[in-house]
Amino acid sequence: MIKKQSQVFLAALLIGVLPMIAQAERVEEEPNAGEMALDLIVARPVGLGIFALGSVTYIATLPLSLLGGNSGDAADALVIEPAKEVFVRCLGCTRPGRKERIRD
């Protein structure tokens, strides 16, 4: 039962990230192999943990945020920005956005 709920929760989070991917800025960075490896091994797992923790925190504090009128700000800070760092950033890049493909 918990596994099924986890899968549904993850699918819902990823569906929420898809519009961000479509609207992502273009990035003109040229990361090297070392930066890409470090990003893959260290930065992405840490970012994914921050994203998960932020999502849980947002859901737990949602009633208070709704009462205070700042649920949008809380969503941006706790869910959207960490999601951009994990899902909408090219491997090894320092800023969120999509890598511009160079066509010959």
Report DSSP letters for 30-93, one per residue: ---HHHHHHIIIIIHHHHHHHHHHHHHHHHHHHHHHHHHT-HHHHHIIIIIHHHHHHHSB-TT-
Which pLDDT does position 95 carry in this prediction? Answer: 82
Say whether pLDDT at 21 is over 60: no
Which pLDDT does position 27 carry in this prediction? Answer: 61
Return the domain boundaries, the chain.
2-22+33-98
Which pLDDT does position 91 carry in this prediction? Answer: 85
| CB-count exposure of residue 45 (10 Å: 0-12, 13-18, 19+) | exposed
Place of tokens 């960075």: 29
Which pLDDT does position 76 carry in this prediction? Answer: 92
Q: Amino acid identity, residue 46?
A: V
Q: What is the per-residue pLDDT across 59-95, written as a single tens digit (0 to 9) for each?
A: 999 999 999 999 999 999 999 999 998 988 888 888 8
